[in-house]
Amino acid sequence: MKIDYKETTSDLLKRIDIHNKFGGRDIDKWMLDIIKLKKGDKILDVGCGAGKQCFSYFNYLEGDASITGGDISDELLSQARSENKKINDAITFMTLNFNRPFDLPDNTFDFESCCFAIYYAEDIPFTIREMHRVLKPGGRLFSTGPMPTNKQLFYDVIREATGKPIPPMPGSSRYESQILASMRDIFSSVEVNVFENPLTFESAEPFIEYTRASLSEDRRLWTSFFNDKNEFEEIMKKIQAVAEKRIKAEGKLVMTKVVGGFLATK
């Protein structure tokens, strides 16, 4: 499945900022409690973006680890590298296209992660096999992605504003089904964890910012919605009106992120 998707630095960082400001729970802490990293671990983060998970591992392990982050986006990698300067380039950031064989040897890493990225792979089993190949025997992969009930409010508001059905999203429509099944086929065991984080908005503005940061590049995934450039702003106005109406009626908007964390062992 070819997915025409390109994350921009500003959209990704905007969504991370809104999760931090309006969410009640910390996903990094949830993840660190599950994965139980050990000092000295050799770690690879696939689809590392601006390095969120790499820096979280570095801080948790107080720098005592060998951490590599790989991503296809030059823009996000340069953001990660500029942050990396603050810790004397302690993390290695490399170009990695997970649709191609990884330029990394077999049986190398103790731990690997792939957060909110696997569902953009063209051939999911191929990418999971590559992640499996570079792990040491007994090594673990932690993958995160949206469950089917993720951010229902976001889709409800868009559905009400447009009167159109929501197209199947590459993540939430497949993560708990096809992608989990593929991990189960390739790894010897997979444990499923679920993280729920309600984001509470008392005004429409941050919800609209979040919507823009989700839809601006993703527009190409919503082909039935946006046929020309002007349509985007028109639809955003309708979304804003529905969000404002709901806040007036209910006092707030609560959008719950529902994330699956699949911990697989080689």
Q: How far is the CB of 224 from ligand SAM (least distance, A)?
A: 22
Which residue number, 48 or 264, has a Cβ lying nearer to ligand SAM?
48
Three-state DSSP state, 198: strand
Q: How far is the CB of 63 from ligand SAM (least distance, A)?
A: 20
Which residue number, 116 or 175, has a Cβ lying nearer to ligand SAM?
116
For strands 42-46 and 66-71, give the pairing: parallel
Q: How far is the CB of 61 from ligand SAM (least distance, A)?
A: 18
Q: How far apart are CA 47 and CA 96, in angstroms?
A: 8
Interacting residues of 126 by C-beta distance below 8 A, sequence separation 6+: 99
Q: Point out which residues pair with 114 in neighbouring strands.
A: 143
Which residue number, 143 or 162, has a Cβ lying nearer to ligand SAM?
143
Closest residue by beta carbon to ligand SAM: 49
Q: How far apart are CA 148 and CA 139, in angstroms?
A: 28
Q: How far is the CB of 2 from ligand SAM (least distance, A)?
A: 11
User: Which residue, 5, 7, 12, 1, is CA-closest to 221?
Assistant: 5
User: By the 8 A CB rule, do 237 and 171 touch?
Assistant: no
Interacting residues of 111 by C-beta distance below 8 A, sequence separation 6+: 35, 37, 41, 42, 43, 44, 139, 140, 141, 142
Q: How far is the CB of 48 from ligand SAM (least distance, A)?
A: 6
Q: Which residue has the tokens 């990884």?
A: 102
Q: How far is the CB of 203 from ligand SAM (least distance, A)?
A: 25
User: By the 8 A CB rule, do 104 and 130 touch?
Assistant: no
Positions that interact with ligand SAM (CB under 6 A) = 7, 12, 47-49, 52-53, 71-73, 76, 96-99, 115-117, 120
